[in-house]
Structure 1
C-alpha cells in the first residue's frame, strides 16, 4: 500500500548528511565511538530525515538530522533510566532540558553531553526563522519533555494507560507538533496562524504523524513486549480491551491503513486550500507554493517512516543478543553522571 501510493524519495544531500551526523554524534559524545562505528549508519536516522524534508536547504536538513539523532539518543537514555530505576538522574535531565530550551547558548558546554547536544541543536534550529516560530517550537518541546515524564512514571509504576489516554500521550511523546513545525524552515517559510490552524492543513498534518506513531507501535511491539514495556498501542489494546497479540496487531494495522486512506482525501483538500492562497500577489503566490511543498513532505513522511522501520537496526530485535537491551545503547553509563 505504501510502496505503491507513496514513492520513496531521498534528499540529494543524504550521503553528506549521514557522514556529518555521524561526526556530530562523536563530536558531541552522544554515542561511544565503537557504537557510532558499528551502529550509526545501520540505525538509519539520517535516512528518515532525508526522506521527509525534501527540498530543505542543506544546512536546515543537517540541523534537523542532528536534532533527530539527538532525539533518538535521548529516547534511549530515558528508556535506560526507566529500566535501571534511575528517577533522580531522569528528574535532573528533565529539569536541565527545560532550562536549556529557554537559554540554549548558555548550555553549549554543559557537562552532560545530552544537554550540550540538545543546546547545540536548538541554537541551530532557532537561526532559520523568527522569534515567534522559536517560541512555538520551545512551547511544543516543553510539552514533549513533560509527556516523557508521564511515560517515565507510568513505566516505573507498571501503569498501562487506557487506549484513549495512550493516544493522547503518544501525540506528545512522538512529538507530532515538532516534526510538523520543522516543515516550515524546510520550506523557508514561517506559516501564518490562519494557515497552520486551517482544518484541512491540521487534518493532513495530524494524519501523517498518526500514521508514523502507530506504524512505530506496530513495528516496535515485539521489542517492547520483550522489554516489559507499557507504552504501546498494542499493549493498551491487549491490557484494557482483552485482545490477543494477533488481534492487537490486526487493529493497529487497521488504524494505520485508515490513516493512509484518510490522508489521501485530506491531501486534496489542503492542496485546494493552498490554491486559494495565491491571490495574485507575490507574497500570496510564495505562501501557496510553500504550503504545497509542506504538504508534499507530509506525503513523504509515509514512505520515510515505512522504509525506516524496515531498514533500521532499531527494530531488528530478533538479531539482538538480548531482546530487551538494544545493542546500540550505552547501557551501563547512560544517565549515571
Structure 2
C-alpha cells in the first residue's frame, strides 16, 4: 500500500511507501500539557518565541505515535528525553559554530559523566556553563529517572548510542564550519548517528519494563530491522526538511547529496531519496518476517519500531518544526 501524503497545513511531501496503520496514544493531550509545564519548569523556553515554537512542534505527538500502548508516566519520560535532545541539538548547532572548542569538550564531558552515572549538572559546573544550567538540569532528571529502571548492560549500550549521536552532531558541525558538503555514502553513515534513533529505540525497553536479551541484540535480522527503521526515519526527515535547509545553505540532507554526486535535478534528487526510503521499508518488512522470536520483550520492541516509522511520518507532517517556505514536487519515483 502506498501512503499518499497530500497536504497538512501548507506542508506537503512526496508519496512514500508506508504500509503501517497510524496509531496514537489516548494520553497525547495530557502529555502535551505536561510537557509544556516540564519544559517551562526547567527553563527551556526562556528565549523569545520559544513557547510558541514549542507548542507548534508537538513533541508529545511524536512519542504518543511512536509508543501508542505506553502508560502516561512512561510517555512523559520519553517525551522529556525527546525535548532534551532537541534542545541539545539546537544548542550544539549554534555553539559549535560560535565557540567550538569548549563545546566539543562539554560534549566529551557529558558522555563521560553518563558512563559514570554522575549527574551532569552537579558533577560538572563547567558543563552547566557551556550547555546551560536549564538543559543540564533537564538531562539530570531524565537520566536519573531512566537509569534506575535498567541494568548496567542497558546503560552502557544506551550511553554508547548517545555518544554516537553526539559524534554525528560534531561531524555535521565541522562540515558546516568548513562549508564542506559530505559525500553520499559518508552522509548515509553519519546521518544514522546524528538522527539519534538508536538511543530512542533503546528507550522502548524501559518504557515497557522489558530488556532485550543479548542474543536478540546480536541477531542479524533484529539488527537489520533497527538499521532500516532508523534509516527510514532519517530519510523521511530529509524529505520534509530539505527546503528549510536549502534556505540556510545547510548541505546535510540526502536530497542534496544525491543532487551533487549523481548530478541530478532537484526534483530527481528528491525522488531518488524517495526510492531509497521505499527500498529500506521493503528491507525492514523482510527482516521483520524473518525474525524468529516468541519473546514478549522482542515483540513489544518490534511493534514500537513499526510505530516509530509510521509515527515519525505523521508527526513530521503535523509538527510545525519542519514547515518549509517551499514544497517538494508531487509525483511518485519512477513516474
2:238 paired with 1:217: yes
Offset of 1:100 from its aligned partner?
3.8
Offset of 1:310 from its aligned partner?
0.7
Structure 2 partner of 1:274: 293
Residue 147 of structure 1 is aligned with which of 164, 168, 174?
Answer: 168
1:105-124 mapped onto 2 (5 Å cutoff): 105=119, 107=121, 110-111=128-129, 112=132, 113-124=134-145
1:13-52 mapped onto 2 (5 Å cutoff): 13-32=27-46, 35-52=49-66
CA distance in 2, matches of 1:36, 1:157: 29
**Residue-pair matches, total:** 304
Offset of 1:263 from its aligned partner?
2.0
- Per mean C-alpha deviation after superposition, the further-off stretch among 220-229 and 87-96 is 87-96
CA distance in 1, matches of 2:47, 2:256: 35
Retained in 1: the 8 A contact 2:211–2:297?
no
Residue 80 of structure 2 is aligned with which of 63, 66, 79?
Answer: 66
Please identify runs of 4+ aligned residues in structure 1 that moved more than 3 A: 33-37, 108-111
CA distance in 2, matches of 1:88, 1:203: 36
Offset of 1:89 from its aligned partner?
5.2
Point out where structure 1 has 5 or more consecutive residues left out of the alignment: 276-287, 320-337
Tell me, what secondary structure is at the counterpart of 2:21?
coil
TM-score by length of 2: 0.84
2:313 paired with 1:306: yes
- Per mean C-alpha deviation after superposition, the further-off stretch among 53-62 and 33-42 is 33-42
Structure 2 partner of 1:291: 298
Structure 2 partner of 1:317: 324
CA distance in 2, matches of 1:43, 1:57: 22
Structure 2 partner of 1:90: 103
C-alpha RMSD of matched pairs (Å):
2.1
Retained in 2: the 8 A contact 1:104–1:120?
no
Residue 137 of structure 1 is aligned with which of 153, 158, 179?
Answer: 158
Tell me, what secondary structure is at the counterpart of 2:23?
coil
Retained in 2: the 8 A contact 1:13–1:58?
yes
Structure 1 partner of 2:280: 259
Structure 1 partner of 2:252: 231
Offset of 1:227 from its aligned partner?
1.0
Retained in 1: the 8 A contact 2:31–2:76?
yes
Q: Deviations over 1:90-127 (max 9, x none)?
A: 33542442344234425258451222222222111212
Retained in 2: the 8 A contact 1:96–1:115?
no
TM-score by length of 1: 0.84
CA distance in 2, matches of 1:168, 1:147: 9
Retained in 2: the 8 A contact 1:26–1:33?
no
Retained in 1: the 8 A contact 2:259–2:269?
yes
1:191-202 mapped onto 2 (5 Å cutoff): 191-202=212-223
1:201-212 mapped onto 2 (5 Å cutoff): 201-212=222-233
Point out where structure 2 has 5 or more consecutive residues left out of the alignment: 5-17, 327-335
Tell me, what secondary structure is at the counterpart of 1:318?
coil
Retained in 1: the 8 A contact 2:228–2:283?
yes
Retained in 1: the 8 A contact 2:120–2:136?
no
Counterparts in 2 of 1:126 and 1:35: CA distance versus 1, 3 Å: farther
